[in-house]
Amino acid sequence: MDCSMNILVTGATGQLAKSIESITNVDSCFTFVGRDDFHITDKNEVDDYFASHDIDVVINCAAYTKVDLAEDEQEQAYDVNVNAVRYLAEAAESKEAEFYHVSTDFVFDGDLSVLYNELDKTNPLSVYGKTKLEGENVALQACSRTQIIRTSWLYSLYGNNFVKTIIRLATDRDKLTIVADQIGSPTNAENLARAILNMVFSEKKHFGEVYHYSDAGECSWYEFAKEIVELSDIECEVLPIPSVEYPQRAIRPKYSVMDKSKIVRDYGAEIIDWRESLRQVIKSL
Q: What is the C-alpha to C-alpha distance for residues 89 and 138, in angstroms, rounded to an integer?
A: 8
Q: What is the C-alpha to C-alpha distance for residues 239 and 246, in angstroms, rounded to an integer?
A: 13
Name 88's Cβ contacts closer than 8 Å, sequence gap at least 6: 10, 40, 46, 58, 60, 99
Active-site position among 78, 87, 116, 128: 128
Q: Provide the b/e sequence for 165-187 (b: ≥16 CB within 10 Å).
A: ebbebbeeeeebebbbebbbbbb
Residue 78 falls in the annotated catalytic set: no
Name 38's Cβ contacts closer than 8 Å, sequence gap at least 6: 45, 46, 48, 49
β-pairing, 98-104 with 146-151?
parallel
The dihedral through the CA atoms of 266, 276, 174, 179 has a sign that is positive
- For helices 274-284 and 162-172, give the axis angle rounded to 10 degrees: 60
The dihedral through the CA atoms of 243, 253, 106, 109 has a sign that is negative
Which residues are known catalytic residues?
128
